Amino acid sequence: MYDKIVDILCSIKEDQPELRPLLSPATDLNNDIGLDSLQMIQFMLKVEDQLNVIIDYDQFDYEHLQSIDTFMTFLKSCQTQEQSLYEDVQK
């Protein structure tokens, strides 16, 4: 999961090729990477798509972006897309 998140960040910040070696699980997604609002939206959508999760924005908080590790912990609490689709069919 960490490698995919790093790949997503690097693809969004493609104008900063030096970014990858600077990233670590403790990297602050807000202050260290410098995503603008459009890039943040792209990041969240790519995370949902590539990691196959549905981010619960009712539960999501700014503090989940304090580090890549914190963000991964939050993502692990989110449903996978298959589960959600299956549950929708059951209702």
Q: Taking a C-beta distance cutoff of 8 angstroms, is the pair 1, 75 a contact?
A: yes
- Distance (Å, rounded) from C-alpha 42 to C-alpha 35? 10
- Show pLDDT as tens, one digit a residue, over the chain (91 residues): 999 999 999 999 988 888 999 999 999 998 899 888 899 999 999 999 999 999 988 888 889 999 999 999 999 988 776 644 445 544 4
- Distance (Å, rounded) from C-alpha 4 to C-alpha 49? 11
